[in-house]
Structure 1
């Protein structure tokens, strides 16, 4: 019996000791809590819900039960809510209460400095101070380069901020520590490859992403990087071939599959094959969004439909279907990038009341000075961007151009990827093309020359250049 008990004790301590041996002490006496924390972090890092474990939500529920006072359990639970950008502390009393309780709990316990920094980072994130949160996560990474939670939280937040070089270099600084023997190291290659693609280092990005896929072909994030490379270079046929060949490996990544299908559909829009794009939308993009309500899925749906709308494609009831998941976020104002995508759906569904409500509530929040980083950008970026969409839909193309053109190089600050923000560039081109002003139609031609050099042999750019030539000849 004594021998059996000793073996059990060793097994019970295994996960706790593994974290300790990695220099990442977790302040809990529950090995079960450590195991569940590990399971949640693994699912977050790999963009998957492991249903055999109950998925992320199931694991979080068990984690809280295993040790209700485990501070890092509260950190990962609250962090995933905040990073998910589907709930706002400002509006959601339950989430606000959870963050306050986490901070209070941390003050009543003997925690490591690393754990205290995690709490502080989420506390300032909850108040909208995203750059400051990243500074705190970077402080953790300087001393603990294999802290995957700090790395992933900062990576996602840099993305929201449009801090492209910081997103790349944050991973680069810890990259040498992620040797093959460190669990999940191949996924860190995927994070780094995405930072490379967003700083236009396409060949290097593709190389690193392929290195990650050679280790784990189900890495949907590395697939996503390569999809971006092909999108940014307008290598449509190469992109279509890659997505078709790898689909079986990433389609079960329920947190990212919808987004990868979105990239697939973009290639068809680029080619002008709208029915093929709509087939992917109807089969793989819309159903996931309507079921999950996740913000990434919502953004993909709004963005894709709006691109098709700009191309003149009839969309039937699709905008109205989408309204059911976007309308509840009208007053969120967590990220300006999200706001403008919700707005696309309101305009598409011709819901004038909700459109006005989004704009009015954003204007009210933008009036007062406050610490929220995103809202501080609203007066000179968020509101003009939103208004440009409204003016375009109202047929005021000249006004849309006047609003959008002066801020085009600053829009990176609202976050998202270059590929995602391309919808803003397309709006500007279409508004200029449809302007009554000769000067603005000339601007459209100039913008298309610029686009043509950035993405040689782009079928969409070629279509728009032909349209611009036709408009010019009729003028």
Structure 2
């Protein structure tokens, strides 16, 4: 019988289909270009291979090709009727996520992993900054990611994919030295692994080791296929290190070369949130002349996220709409209020207050921005994403403090951050706060 790389049986009699499937899974787990082609080849070799269909469906979902994703997931369900119980459960978890049933996907994944802990693709669905736990609205999602990794660690040993995600989960849970060590070990096991390069970048960022992060990525990225879906986001990490060093022109050049919407082969959620957040950070740092870029990002958001639903995108939609000053933000806030009333806005009222606070800040009403943002930050983790991504809202509050003449409050916030992580930018802001 054919098996996947983790020794789990595959219901296909085609050795070639199984080999292409293993290649596709490894590309997905390493965030490396080639998964689409590999799954397509697996399906061509064996059109009845359910797991190849649902793997391809997941890639369609990431690229916001919803119709294709749902069609292939439905086909995978039909094909799985003749497969093993493990494969049936695997298909059901991924299909639930594709069909917009995140709670069912989470509970299904947790139960599935109790019986099949080495089903790495199912485990991967729960993890990461954009995984099911992160976007669940839970305040403890960082702890949940680490807990499920540790629960199943004995089944993986020195597996390159697992160590990478275990390391990143430690990093996001605040165990920085452990997270960095595990991430470095995973890179030793497989250097062609963008997911672990990403996790290692986060560890360096959280430790305040910006120069090391920039050096690591500058040496590693040239060998990374630019069509791989994390390439633009890794460039965003380089830009963060340049912002910390005060190199605004360098950070803007990264945006223009790697991130701005221009036919990029990356998932729309990455393109939109990376673009909006980097432009906002540049504006906070004093960069001018960004108007054309903001119009591009706003148009991209309206194209790919025209209605409220993906709350992390909605919060970044607020950034672009607030800066461009169009009426789209009012409509989006009304949609968010309706979702909150129906219990469908997973982060709850905090998400709405963060959007309103951003709008007040963009309008120059720093007092109102402070009133909205300050209490909402206590619930900030509920919006998902990583620590590095969520820091934008605290950055905005700090600048609002200084613009409103509350240098003492800004200084306290900055001091707490400097106690956790050295930062050249925060040190500069601390000096500015003491003068304001």
TM-score normalised to the size of structure 1?
A: 0.81
Structure-1 residue corresponding to 2:347:
377
Structure-1 residue corresponding to 2:305:
330
Structure-1 residue corresponding to 2:212:
238
Shift of the alpha carbon at 1:45? Answer: 0.7
Structure-1 residue corresponding to 2:322:
347
CA spacing shift, 1:411–1:85, aligned 2, 3 Å: farther
Contact 2:77 2:88 in 1 (8 A): no
Q: How does 1:298-313 map to 2 (within 5 A)?
A: 298-313=272-287
Contact 1:217 1:249 in 2 (8 A): no
The total of aligned residue pairs comes to: 429
CA spacing shift, 1:39–1:357, aligned 2, 3 Å: farther
Contact 1:209 1:222 in 2 (8 A): yes
Contact 2:40 2:56 in 1 (8 A): no
Shift of the alpha carbon at 1:95? Answer: 4.6
CA spacing shift, 1:219–1:97, aligned 2, 3 Å: closer
Q: How does 1:16-415 map to 2 (within 5 A)?
A: 16-19=1-4, 23-50=7-34, 56-82=35-61, 84=62, 86=64, 95-96=69-70, 98-100=72-74, 102-103=76-77, 106=80, 109-126=81-98, 128-155=100-127, 156-161=131-136, 163-179=141-157, 185-250=159-224, 252=226, 254-286=228-260, 290-292=264-266, 294-314=268-288, 315-348=290-323, 350-369=324-343, 372=344, 375-378=345-348, 380-415=349-384
Contact 1:432 1:444 in 2 (8 A): yes
Query: Gaps (5+ residues) in structure 2?
Result: none
CA spacing shift, 1:30–1:334, aligned 2, 3 Å: farther
Alpha-carbon distance in 1 for matches of 2:6, 2:94 = 23
Structure-2 residue corresponding to 1:443:
409
Structure-2 residue corresponding to 1:432:
401
Structure-2 residue corresponding to 1:13:
none
CA spacing shift, 1:238–1:105, aligned 2, 3 Å: closer
1:3-57 Cα distance to aligned partner (Å, 9 max, x none): xxxxxxxxxxxxx5234x955223344444433332321211111113xxxxx33
1:434-472 Cα distance to aligned partner (Å, 9 max, x none): 23xx6x55432321222222223x22112222222222x
Structure-2 residue corresponding to 1:10:
none
Aligned to 1:313, the other structure's residue is in SS state coil
Aligned to 2:296, the other structure's residue is in SS state helix
Alpha-carbon distance in 1 for matches of 2:6, 2:212 = 41
Alpha-carbon distance in 2 for matches of 1:247, 1:149 = 25
Shift of the alpha carbon at 1:288? Answer: 6.7
CA spacing shift, 1:215–1:25, aligned 2, 3 Å: closer
Match of 1:423 among 392, 405, 415: 392
RMSD: 2.7
Query: Gaps (5+ residues) in structure 1?
Result: 1-15, 51-55
1:210-251 Cα distance to aligned partner (Å, 9 max, x none): 112222223222222222122122223333333333333446
Give 1 or 2 for the bigger CA radius of gyration: 1
Contact 1:335 1:414 in 2 (8 A): no
CA spacing shift, 1:265–1:251, aligned 2, 3 Å: farther
User: Higher mean Cα deviation, 299-308 or 240-249?
Assistant: 240-249
Contact 2:50 2:76 in 1 (8 A): yes
1:178-202 Cα distance to aligned partner (Å, 9 max, x none): 245xxxx212211111101101111
Shift of the alpha carbon at 1:263? Answer: 1.0
CA spacing shift, 1:127–1:442, aligned 2, 3 Å: farther
CA spacing shift, 1:388–1:289, aligned 2, 3 Å: farther
Aligned to 1:352, the other structure's residue is in SS state coil
